[in-house]
Amino acid sequence: MGHARLSAGRGAGLRPAGRIVRASHARSRPELRSGRRGPWARPVGHLCSSLVGPTVAQGTRNPVAHGRRVALVSGVVSIASDADDAILVEGLYKSFGSVHALAGVDLAVPRGTVLGVLGPNGAGKTTAVKILTTLTLPDAGRVIVDGRDVVADAAAVRHSIGLAGQSAAIVEELSGRENLEFVGRLYHLGRTASKARAAELLERFGLTDAAERRAKTYSGGMMRRLDLAASLVARPRVLFLDEPTTGLDPRARNDMWEVIRDLVAGGTTLLLTTQYLDEADELADKIVVFDHGKVIAQGTADDLKDTIGGDVVEFTVADRSQHDVAMAAVRGLGDGELTTDSDGYVGVRAGRRGSAVLLEVVRQLDSSGVTANGLGVRRPSLDDVFLALTGHKAEADGEATVAEAS
């Protein structure tokens, strides 16, 4: 899934080139089949009144949906949500046959912040992003993005968002400049404005020297930067990045992190899905953890690490005869009981005080005359977090394959 490329639609509506409403939805909903121009002839805001309640669909004055006031203006539903939330999700469900990709997801993203969405392959992250960006209809629940319902007012949502997915949505036969100009024209920016915006983004992402080369000659890192640039052509207020650094080498990954930090500094609200805890740690203000279609934990990176004891200061006693001396020297420096084994390993749980505890461990071992190998601080990995939260490691459960094929 790439960034939400747009094609010209009816009136003010622009629609992603991807499947907004699949044929199966059209067959099950007669209203999608009406009109001479096919299922896109009617505004998306009229397609799914069920999620906002019959009073809204009938035009009742001052209706209320899910306890929040709803305004109906010229056939477009606008639901008042917390003004500080750029994204609000309540009770979100989605299934693909017998696979429950999302099973009651709730989350909120304040404006101008970054939400990191963690989870193994198949946890439901990509399905959630597809619904939040109007590429897939939910089975139940409510999603508000930039003050608009993603089902009842999908066209307006698409005007305010950008999406860079797991696979770059770039036309490889076009040059980098032509790709960005093409996206600008699809957004109806006009020829002059599209050229100017393309030039601005090429410079911002360090692609000016390669602007005239065909995209198929770009490296993986360059392709990802071009893809992200394309998602920013229309200056979105809310940006969705679905595993943006997967497959990148360390240098390209760090470059992408810098780009993301610059966007956030400029006021963009960002939802970032990733399998890497360190990536979420670097970029996210708050993290939610998905597993089997549910949010199983949320908080800051430190909060998540604390669920498994946070940092661990580790070392191995070089002389096994000094093992008990080493244990006595460091006991009480950390949080809770020490971890040890018959090979001389010692682990001191340090919570959020990894560096401070490490210094104290070094002092105590030195004063006790103990020689230690491999002394250092280990940060929890994604597998550590998942093992603690779910009882299993981060492994695919099949949702991604089913969801992508649907």
- Read off the pLDDT of residues 13-29 as tens digits, 9 standing for 90 and up: 333 333 333 333 443 43
Torsion angle in degrees (nearest 10) through CA of 85, 87, 93, 98: -150
- pLDDT higher at 254 or 146: 146
Query: In this structure, what are the phi and psi dihedrals at residue 389, rounded to the nearest 5 degrees?
Result: -85, -35
Tokens (6 digits) for 221:
């890192």
Residue 393: what pLDDT?
57
- The whole-chain average pLDDT of the chain stands at 76
- Read off the pLDDT of residues 167-193 as tens digits, 9 standing for 90 and up: 778 899 999 999 999 999 998 999 999
CA 370 to centroid of chain Cα atoms = 46
Helix H or strand E encompassing 89: strand 85-96
Which distant-in-sequence residues (6+ apart) come within 8 Å of 83 by Cβ?
none
pTM above 0.85, yes or no: no
Determine how many CB atoms are found less than 10 A away from the CB of residue 222.
Answer: 20
pLDDT over 60 (residue 346) = yes
